[in-house]
Structure 1
Amino acid sequence: MSELFPPNLDAPRFSRALKAFASVVGSQWVLSSEEDRASYVDPYALGDGLNHAASAAVAPASAEEVQALVRLANEHKVPLWPTARGKNLGYGWAAPAMPGTVVLDLGRMDRILDVDVKFGHCLVEPGVGFYDLYNFLRENDIPLWMSLPGNAWGSVMGNALERGLGYTPYGDHAAKICGMEVVTPTGDLLRTGMGAMAGSKTWQAYQHGFGPSWDQAFVQSNFGVVTKMGLWLMPEPEMTLRAKIELPQADDIGWAIDELHQLRLNNVVDHNFVFGNYLHDAAVLSQRSEWYDGKGALPDAIADKMMKHYDIGWWRFSLGIYGHEGIVRAKEQLIRKALEPHLGKPIEFEEWHRGEPLDRAAARAPSATALQIVNWWGGRGGHMGFSPVMPPDGALARKTFRAMKARFEEHGLDYYTSFTMGHRHINNVNILLYDRDDADMVSRAGKLFHTLIGDAKAAGFGEYRTHLDFMDPVSKSFDFNGGALGRFNESVKNAIDPNGIIAPGKNGIWPAPYKTIGTGDPA
């Protein structure tokens, strides 16, 4: 990697800034060697990832150190990119949107500050990972369950701030945030909601406060650095039922979405769940070369072989029922009534009762198994998600997946897709799998992504989250009234962060000092 500096700084000025940072955290926590900087480059990037290369990283151990660093960053005009554990897989890793930005690595701040058993909430720092919190709850016999994403390698806080999802009734992680501590772009320290009162006893109990509620303004934004977060946890239920359900035909997605939407809307099913196509299993359990070595996307006949080999359907989803036994049994009957006539057979539920050993059927342990999909093509594998949000309509889902499949095939990529069922929406998560050592494939993946953005915009659907490379075009697709939301975001940014210190370019929000820079496009 060649030497890199923040925009508008030369080597002497940048060196002075790093020395100032070292006076706060110690020289060992200012990471500026070539090897250090390489560790923050996105390993799944389309291309070499150096269009988002960091100039250095600095790793504070406390909120007070974050404050001091932000003040010095303002003094020296050095932009900072906060990252919790740097595991934002498929969305940019720990890399900054703007090349030359210094990564503010919060991984050393890894304390579980409080878990309140009676009231069901916790308070954590950015570096607390899903494994950390899960183990803490189990080792201390705390009867609270946490919600886990599909790949649980990252930060509890970071996942919530990016609107990550799990698959229990508490799976909308951003919605379970209750109270934050935030370092502002000028180095001030505030607490949101009821925490704005010194000595507050209800900081993690009430999600609002007095006046405007700011917690969600710090989600997917660059308005501050979150150093503590309250999160609600799920009380251990009396029992659970869980079932994996296979849908044999591709078009089964239509009736399934419609039936399950009604169950979800009426809280018979009270958690998000995923309809994944056959490649969800095949890409974890095997590599493409074991099935097909031809050019272009996988033929349907090969897909049929995979489904037969693994005894899976075109789609699979898992349902859970949680709570008191009487409620669980009543919900079970409603689910059977809605789904079994279509399935033509009884649903097989797996039971768990309080006091029995915890297993994957009841309280799933953290896992990174899903990450195996990056090995699908061989070489240096990569993945990236395109995830538009749509109404939960079966006919629409069927039409959308057919159109998406055709687009993947046009670009010679294998169609890995899913629909996440929310309370009043579906999120069509399409994973682009590619071999980073195949320049042509990488180019096709980038072109496909741009095509999908245009297709979704034309249909009236937008992404909920995206990779660094595509933050600007996705942001621009939210264009009501000439992009009024983007103008408002940038007005707020410029008012509270006049030097553009915190995460310039995050989700297309560019502060005035860097407005003309942009991020480029490797595709």
Structure 2
Amino acid sequence: MGDGKNLTPIPYLKDKYSGAPERLRREAEAARDRLFSNRTLPPSQPRKGDPIRLPPGVSAEAFESAIQDLRGAIGAENVQITDQALVDGWYVESPNTHDAFHIVDQEGLVSSAVVYPGSTADVQAVVRWANRHGIPIYPISLGRNVGYGGAAPRVPGGVVVDLGRRMHGILDIDGENASCVVEPGVTYFRLYEEIQARGLPLWIDTPDLGGGSVLGNAIDRGVGYTPYGDHFANHCGMEIVLPNGELLRTGMGAMPGPNGTDNPTWQSFQHAFGPAVDGIFSQSNFGIVTKMGMHLMPAPEAHQSYCFTFPRDDDFEQIVDLIRPLAQRRILGNIPQLRHVIEELAITGKRQHTFRLDGDTNANRQLTREEVHVAAAGLPLGECAWVFYGTQYGDRASIAAQLDAVKAAFAQVAGSRFFLPEDLPPSHYLHDRARVCAGTPVLRELDWLNWAANGAHLFFSPIAPTRGRDARRIHEAIVAAHARHGFDLFPTLCVAGREIHYITNIVYDRGDAGAKARAVRLMREMIAECAAMGFGEYRTHLLFADQVAGTYNWNHGALMRFNETVKDALDPNGILAPGRNGIWPRKYRGKGWELGADDVDMKVIGPKL
């Protein structure tokens, strides 16, 4: 299945809003070919169940009547029934019907239909339609939050509202204000290319992969790697369709501008008068964001990326304690990454078995420590245990002074080594990190997926204090859990002055039911064990959201009671993304939809009939 023949042409930005940029043509083709060469699953599979997965409690006749009503509201060509074979595709050609990285059965979380609104008014029409017919809707920007559920609706049979296909306008780029206004379908690739085309001295902040939605990533509180790496903190002004179809603008946008124009300070000041409500529309199901302002970074005079290596696994605690004061004093210029050396192997795009000393291509096991270090010794950075990737910004004199301080700190770790990009071959990952840390979106992180056949991944993303002893506790728990379930551990630590995003990437074969089941058990155990130590996730896959939300249970779950109160007030019919981020409306609450620590098979998502 993976011979690479008969592949459709890759879409590029000149032809499609969600495509890859032309400058990455060679990388995109190589990434796709590697992924497809490692596949044993067919491109698509016949549906096993009913041709259409109906929304819960909705008959086929009622659904058909509702769909006709929806087609009349926004155009028949903008409503697509999900009755075809499901295609997982790949990152640049990802599905909007289900999760391409399905951790349960491919049809376990599938939509009944996909609708394509072309304007805020269309979104309002879709929301009002959902209220009339009692059908759950699930909005997505692009469905590329891979590792967290993709485009799948949390309630199977829900109608996916694909905001990206027809709402992908860059509505404004203000060079003087260093800001922009975008619709949900604007990718990091597209925003970057537009700024370059206009010749503006502005940077965007991009995650590791550049094909995601600028708006969608921000409201899911994603992160990047420049000084503007906290994406939600750098949003400014939102336009939101509420669950009853009413329109809301947050911040200064709540005040009309002169003569019917937008308020001139809407993208200048995040707040307004009274309560700051923007936050309740991040990681929630309280509204659909159709426009968002984002602050952009004025291009610095210079920047310098680099990496350090550290020789021993046991250096970990000391490294974290050295990073903390550097970050708190803002000597470190960006949100750096601390990675284990096994990730140097994975980013080569090679299969896991190629690094086994016994040559066994079938054994389902972790690499041993010896195998990791032997393989690392043959790579450009040489044998080591940890790799720190950082970037400094400013004028050249200040960068030199900053680097001197960083070098002096890390020199306290015996055997540490320092590398600049020019010290390493052009294919080395440091060059890609340098692009990302300079606001240039890339595709390199796709190479991880080749670690397993039919490569898919699932993120476990807890937060820990930037203290060596705390980092060691969470690290040891995650190491032990991975060993129990036979998965290689890929820890990426995004280390700030006071907290660490400990990003764990579980790579599995989505064609292997046993591997998927082990990944689910691994996730369930890590969520529970880390929460018991006080470490909670900041973001999670939609099937684990109930369990994660349940760990934030101080004062007998006061936070969830508040969220449910807000949900029921704004969405009394429970139509908007029920269950997203663990928030269920009254219509579904306590009726068998919630998934907890004991739900490991998940063969049925929803009430057990």
Q: 1:215-364 alignment to 2 at 5 Å? A: 215-285=278-348, 286-292=350-356, 293=360, 294-312=363-381, 313-342=384-413, 347-349=418-420, 360=435, 363-364=438-439
**Counterpart selection for 1:384 from 458, 464, 483:** 458
Residue 234 of structure 1: how far off its partner (Å): 0.5
Deviations 1:137-162 (A, max 9, x none): 11111111011111222101111111
Residue 423 of structure 1: how far off its partner (Å): 3.4
Mean alpha-carbon deviation: is it higher for 96-105 or for 275-284? 275-284
Letter in 2 for 1:374: L
Which residue does the alignment assign to 1:164? 222
- 8 A Cα contact 1:242 1:361, kept in partner: no
Residue 361 of structure 1: how far off its partner (Å): 8.1
Mean alpha-carbon deviation: is it higher for 336-345 or for 394-403? 336-345
Matched residue SS, 1:366: coil
**Counterpart selection for 1:15 from 52, 57, 64:** 64
Distance 2:111 2:512 in 1: 25
Distance 1:504 1:395 in 2: 39
Mean alpha-carbon deviation: is it higher for 311-320 or for 152-161? 311-320
Residue 364 of structure 1: how far off its partner (Å): 4.7
Q: 1:490-501 alignment to 2 at 5 Å? A: 490-501=564-575
Distance 2:304 2:199 in 1: 22
Distance 1:344 1:411 in 2: 33
Q: How many correspondences in the alignment? A: 516
- 8 A Cα contact 1:97 1:519, kept in partner: no
Matched residue SS, 1:342: coil
Runs of 5+ unmatched residues, structure 1: 352-357
Residue 341 of structure 1: how far off its partner (Å): 3.7
**Counterpart selection for 1:416 from 490, 493, 504:** 490
Deviations 1:99-134 (A, max 9, x none): 111101001200001111111111000000010001
Deviations 1:212-245 (A, max 9, x none): 1111111100000000001111000011122122
Which residue does the alignment assign to 1:354? none
- TM superposition score normalised by structure 1: 0.95
Matched residue SS, 2:184: coil
Distance 2:275 2:484 in 1: 48
**Counterpart selection for 1:112 from 166, 170, 179:** 170
Residue 301 of structure 1: how far off its partner (Å): 1.2
Mean alpha-carbon deviation: is it higher for 287-296 or for 443-452? 287-296
1:507 corresponds to 2:581: yes
Matched residue SS, 1:413: coil
Residues 1:295 and 1:347: Cα distance change in structure 2 (over 3 Å): closer
Which residue does the alignment assign to 2:430? none
1:76 corresponds to 2:133: yes
Runs of 5+ unmatched residues, structure 2: 1-46, 88-94, 258-262, 423-432, 602-609
Letter in 2 for 1:297: Q
Which residue does the alignment assign to 1:173? 231
Distance 1:96 1:408 in 2: 28
RMSD over equivalenced CA pairs, Å: 1.9
Residue 344 of structure 1: how far off its partner (Å): 5.1
Distance 1:259 1:5 in 2: 55
Letter in 1 for 2:127: V
Matched residue SS, 1:426: strand
1:429 corresponds to 2:503: yes
- 8 A Cα contact 1:99 1:519, kept in partner: no
1:55 corresponds to 2:112: yes
1:155 corresponds to 2:209: no
**Counterpart selection for 2:443 from 365, 368, 388:** 368
1:134 corresponds to 2:189: no
**Counterpart selection for 2:593 from 502, 518, 523:** 518
Distance 2:163 2:409 in 1: 47
Which residue does the alignment assign to 2:522? 448
Which residue does the alignment assign to 1:44? 101
1:25 corresponds to 2:47: no
- 8 A Cα contact 1:340 1:347, kept in partner: no
Distance 1:456 1:138 in 2: 43
Mean alpha-carbon deviation: is it higher for 339-348 or for 465-474? 339-348
Distance 2:584 2:499 in 1: 29
Which residue does the alignment assign to 1:355? none
Distance 2:324 2:449 in 1: 31
Letter in 1 for 2:341: Y
- 8 A Cα contact 2:310 2:416, kept in partner: no
Residues 1:297 and 1:349: Cα distance change in structure 2 (over 3 Å): closer
Residue 331 of structure 1: how far off its partner (Å): 2.1
Mean alpha-carbon deviation: is it higher for 57-66 or for 41-50? 41-50
Matched residue SS, 1:387: strand
Residue 89 of structure 1: how far off its partner (Å): 0.2
- 8 A Cα contact 2:490 2:505, kept in partner: yes
Distance 2:435 2:295 in 1: 21
Distance 1:37 1:5 in 2: 16
- 8 A Cα contact 1:41 1:93, kept in partner: yes
Deviations 1:417-465 (A, max 9, x none): 1211023101211111111222222211111111101110111110001
Which residue does the alignment assign to 1:460? 534
Distance 1:24 1:282 in 2: 52
Distance 1:92 1:63 in 2: 25
Distance 1:362 1:260 in 2: 18
- 8 A Cα contact 1:177 1:215, kept in partner: no
Distance 2:340 2:157 in 1: 39
Which residue does the alignment assign to 1:35? 84
Mean alpha-carbon deviation: is it higher for 469-478 or for 43-52? 43-52
Matched residue SS, 2:413: helix
Which residue does the alignment assign to 1:394? 468
Letter in 2 for 1:129: T
Distance 1:36 1:451 in 2: 34
Q: Report sequence identity in percent.
A: 39
Residue 519 of structure 1: how far off its partner (Å): 5.2
Matched residue SS, 1:22: helix
- 8 A Cα contact 2:225 2:436, kept in partner: no
Residue 185 of structure 1: how far off its partner (Å): 0.5
Letter in 1 for 2:275: P
Residue 296 of structure 1: how far off its partner (Å): 2.3
Mean alpha-carbon deviation: is it higher for 88-97 or for 392-401? 392-401
